[in-house]
Chains A and B, each alone.
Chain A
């Protein structure tokens, strides 16, 4: 077996994941402001240009950006491979994705062809540059755990979603929506949510829950079977969506069944956790699991209901499931990384994780997040609630950003000091 390329010393520099993590809440705030100035009725339809634009502030500006940041950080730990030129790759793709996202919203909103084309270029370059580098790194993986397989599956889905997305955006730019436009848009969104985000979260949960909370490990069944079956369900759903729409529900049921199993597993594992902690991150996991279960059930119901409830499904799955997990995990990952990088460069006197993220402020932010979800759901019946939801969302994201920046600021301040030790093998004291 060939081990070249495998070294365990490849944590990317803090700036690489951090720039992604701190961008996400900013996009959340911009999305909230935009919603304040939008006619609520336009956002009740999933096909309005305004809905599509704002949705992508969340899905690209927040979800994809956090997931790409997390992938860079997780690949070395979970798969033993590092991204070549981590800092430069991160900076390059980040700037393209950020501008791509902004131009996409501007282009769609203002029906501006130039902006839309710039958006397609920015997003294409941004996503593919980092995805290709991730694939190059993945080629060196020698040991394949279920989490690693999940990450690879998610990245494969990401390629398809980005390609589909670029195609759809191109159609908007040229004002040439073909017969297949709606079907492709549907596949793009369902695969993005369940294939990319969903599978990545499941794969990471296999490791994160036992790691952070000392829960029992997931059974082999979950590890080995859930993701292939979800892939099967998503593929079956896509094929039937195009050729036999009346059978599309079968694929949907398979996907739903296994995401429900996952939601139940989260709750069960957390109940059996051996650590006595009940911090805000545990709340976030529970909220995430409950939202996922409700969202999946409603997604199935949507196929039978007269009214289109997909907007509530989107709030539950996007905001309730995906954003909650990310929000909670950021509260763990960022302070840990700050500690890890400082300690690794010889600093001993570093605030603990509890001193970097103030539990009270994190709990207030959790409360705002929960209120945001409730207000967005009530918007379905009370159009006025959109504005309320947008205002709460804005403050929730602002507080998240502040909490994260407080933690990162410790890094900046402590780095200015002389390190306590020169970090080499002999742990020499610096003279």
Chain B
């Protein structure tokens, strides 16, 4: 049986790896060298967010009736992370290394504290409430089309 918690947690690790790779590329030479990994990181993160926002969160809200609860807060944080990603892209375009690493510093903590809340709380709650439907939900998440 598929496990929502494991599925989404593993996807966090994929994004973390891409983030670390991007920082390493950026620290070596010109920021332009990190453009490719930045795009990979940003696509993977957006994909992850949409899996949650389009599938898991609505399922969770429907099942638990908690509409203004944790999922809402996580959506807010997605907005914050998206704005940081956008600014990182701009810093790469402008070859502004100090700005870029200042942003990655913020991004790192923002992402990690966000992941922690999800992995240690929300995903556990989701797994408990949605266990019966977890096969279907994971399949739907795997098949989403990113806008």
Residues on A facing B (Cβ under 8 Å)? 1, 3, 6-9, 77-78, 80, 142-143, 145, 207, 210-212, 214, 274-277, 332, 335-336, 339-340, 343-344, 348, 351-355, 423, 425, 427
Contacts and interface: CB of A to CB of B under 8 A. Distances in A.
Contacts of B80: 340, 343-344
A207 B116 contact: yes
A352 B117 contact: no
Contacts of A274: 20, 24
B124 A143 contact: yes
Nearest to A144: B120
Interface string B104-139: 011011101100110011101100100000000000
Contacts of A340: 80, 110
B122 A8 contact: yes
16 contacts: A8-B121, A9-B70, A9-B72, A80-B121, A143-B121, A143-B124, A277-B105, A335-B106, A344-B76, A352-B102, A352-B103, A354-B98, A423-B76, A423-B79, A425-B72, A425-B76
B61 interface: no
B94 interface: no
B70 A78 contact: no
A348 B98 CA distance: 18
Contacts of A335: 106
Contacts, number: 94
B116 A78 contact: yes
B83 interface: yes
Contacts of B106: 335-336, 339, 352-353
B99 A77 contact: no
B121 A353 contact: no
B145 interface: no
A13 to B, nearest CB: 16
Interface of A is mostly: loop
Given A9-B70, A210-B112, 9 more contacts: A9-B73, A77-B113, A145-B120, A214-B16, A276-B27, A352-B101, A353-B105, A354-B98, A354-B102
Contacts of A145: 120
A420 B129 CA distance: 38
A1 B124 CA distance: 11
Given A6-B121, A353-B106, A1 B128 contact: yes
A274 B75 CA distance: 28
B8 interface: no
Closest 9 CB pairs of A and B: A352-B102, A354-B102, A211-B112, A276-B27, A8-B73, A274-B20, A9-B73, A353-B105, A8-B70
Given A8-B70, A214-B16, A348 B109 contact: no
A336 B112 CA distance: 12
Interface of B is mostly: helix
Given A1-B128, A7-B73, A343-B80, A214 B102 contact: no
Nearest to A423: B76
Interface string B15-56: 010011001100100000000000000000000000000000
B23 A276 contact: yes
A142 B16 CA distance: 26
Nearest to B113: A77
Interface residues of B, number: 37
B101 A7 contact: no
Contacts of A214: 16, 19-20, 108
Contacts of B72: 9, 425
B108 A348 contact: no
Contacts of A423: 76, 79
Contact of B108 (A143, A212, A354): A212
B63 to A, nearest CB: 12
Given A77-B116, A143-B121, A207-B116, A332 B16 contact: no
A351 B99 CA distance: 9
Contacts of A351: 102
Contact of B102 (A276, A355, A425): A355
A140 B127 CA distance: 19
A78 B110 CA distance: 13
Contact of A277 (B66, B101, B112): B101
Contacts of A354: 98, 101-102, 105
B60 to A, nearest CB: 11
B47 to A, nearest CB: 20
Contacts of B101: 277, 352, 354
Contacts of B92: none
Nearest to A276: B27
B101 to A, nearest CB: 6
Contacts of B105: 277, 352-354
Nearest to A278: B27
B4 interface: no
Contacts of A277: 23, 101, 105
B85 interface: no
A277 B26 CA distance: 11
B74 interface: yes
